[in-house]
Chains A and B, each alone.
Chain A
Amino acid sequence: MSELEIVLTINGKKRKVKTTTSTRLLDLIRDDLHLTGTKEGCGKGECGACTVIMNGELVASCLVLAPQADGVIITTIEGISHGEKLHPIQDAFIETGAVQCGFCTPGMILAAKKLLEENPYPDEEEIKRGISGNLCRCTGYQKIIDAIKLAANRLSVSDNKRGEKDA
């Protein structure tokens, strides 16, 4: 195990981090950058608790070696609100009661964000597929799906409004 330094942009900030060749991106995010919203569940890519958005793609940060993240752009759950103002998906999760123990929530919200960026009007099956890499042990899936539907509605409404203003 030897040390090396990587540079990455995380939640809009450029960070230089000393790491090792046996460190996972997940550990770097939690232990070195102290962003503990990203959780470790299984450590084997099966639960999605460690989900982050890396270079625009949903990834399991437990399956990325820290040196592989040199030069990447990452968004974690800490990066999606604007200060105190929550992201519409976060609001929708709260209003719908889609959070029970909360451990899967950061990953679920990032998966939902990515899904709605690619597909602003998903049907229920598409929502299920979008969050198929994220496990909720409280099994509150229905409320999570409801929350994503609510967020999709609001985001598309605000998109339309923006469109009207532009016009």
Chain B
Amino acid sequence: MEEFSPGLQGIENFSGGEHKKSQKALPGHYFAPQKIEEALEILSQRGRDTKVIAGGTDLLVQYYDRLYEIGIWLDLKNIKELKNIRINKNVMEIGAMVTHTQLENSVYIKKYYPVLCQAAADIGSPQIRNRGTIGGNIVNASPAGDLLAPLMAYKVQFRLLSIKGEKIIPAEEFFIGPKKTILRADQLLSEIILPLSEKHTYGSWIKIGKRKALIIATITLALIVRMDKDNEIIEDVSVCLGSVAPTPIEIKEIKGKMIGKKIKQLDFNQLGQIVEDKISPIDDIRGTREYRKDVAKNIMIKALEEIDSACGGGINE
């Protein structure tokens, strides 16, 4: 089954698992190629009829009672190069098929991106984390996707491949609405690229939901602060939130209020207020707009307090 000769001919050959060359590509085909090139070939020819399946933890819920609607399944499970986490010069490359469990347990992720590690550990349940992937979480593009705010806060870029070549796109250009991205039918997300975080970088992750396990977030917040070499002055900061807008968003307005200052000089309440003012949440079953606005402010303050104590609290006084 995993053997696949690229091209529509290959799709026809596959039907029924037998070599029935005369048969046309009917709905209901399943491919699990071993090479990325083969996957791209299928997408270039039949991308519109194809569902790319990674862990399936969102897809099989979405298509729960209508799996039969899917014409062609393209399963990425056999493409080994999509399962790596590796350092390449000054960036970390995470393959799209890396699971949440892998993220949670990876020494690299723990060291360089603790907020991403914690977010992965908070997803669903052991069953979901073992199957669900980082690439699936991104391409699914739910405004509540748990990994999205942390990835954005770490200044992520996505490598998109097609037979025409590759494109590298930052997160804020990739997500365009709830469950909407710029990914074309012939493109595949292959890698997640993060700059290696530097020394004196601190992070805080907060997820609010109605219970701990198996919950879609009411609101998420990832705050990353980089201090100077003396651990005193804030050199860079990013705060990103999920479930508060059509896409995960970064609140850029806080940068001017924080960069160049010491933590002790910050007005946490004012920063919380900026976050509250800049989000545009909706009422839904997980929480009201008003609730999300209140909580956004409070969790921003809490995240700042966490960074403050992680930096050593009164170290500067």
Contacts and interface: CB of A to CB of B under 8 A. Distances in A.
Physical interaction between A and B: yes
A68 B73 CA distance: 10
B285 to A, nearest CB: 14
Interface in B106-149: 124-128, 130-131
Contacts of B77: 68
B27 interface: yes
Given A21-B73, A44-B61, A64-B131, A133 B126 contact: yes
A21 B131 contact: no
A132 B32 contact: no
From B29, B57, B126, residue with most partner A Cβ within 10 Å: B126
Given A67-B30, A70-B1, A22 B67 contact: yes
Given A63-B56, A65-B53, A46 B67 contact: no
B60 A133 contact: no
B235 interface: no
Contacts, number: 108
Contact of A48 (B61, B67, B127, B131): B127
Interface string B1-32: 10000000000000111000000001111101
A132 B126 contact: yes
Contact of A133 (B1, B70, B125): B125
From A5, A24, A63, A134, residue with most partner B Cβ within 10 Å: A63
Interface residues of B, number: 34
A67 B31 CA distance: 9
A45 B128 contact: yes
B266 interface: no
Interface string B59-85: 011001001101001010100000000
Interface string A43-79: 1111010010000011110111101101000000000
B213 interface: yes
A122 B174 CA distance: 42
A65 to B, nearest CB: 6
A45 B57 contact: yes
Contacts of A111: 126
B234 to A, nearest CB: 34
Interface string A72-91: 00000000000000000000
From B27, B125, B213, residue with most partner A Cβ within 10 Å: B125
A65 B1 CA distance: 15
Given A43-B64, A67-B32, A4 B16 contact: yes
A101 interface: no
B118 to A, nearest CB: 14
Interface residues of A, number: 35
A93 B61 CA distance: 31
A130 interface: yes
A62 B127 CA distance: 11
A2 B126 contact: no
Nearest to B72: A21
Contacts of B15: 2
Given A20-B28, A22-B68, A133-B124, A65 B60 contact: yes
A3 B127 CA distance: 27
A3 B68 contact: no
Given A48-B125, A67-B30, A132-B212, A4 B17 contact: yes
Contacts of B17: 3-5
22 contacts: A2-B27, A4-B30, A23-B67, A24-B60, A43-B64, A44-B61, A46-B214, A58-B126, A58-B127, A59-B130, A63-B55, A63-B56, A63-B57, A63-B127, A64-B131, A65-B60, A67-B32, A68-B53, A70-B1, A132-B126, A132-B212, A133-B214
Interface of A: 1-6, 20-24, 43-46, 48, 51, 57-60, 62-65, 67-68, 70, 111, 114, 129-130, 132-134
* Complex A-B, nearest 8 residue pairs according to Cβ-Cβ distance, in ascending order: A133-B125, A132-B213, A22-B67, A2-B28, A1-B28, A57-B130, A133-B127, A21-B28
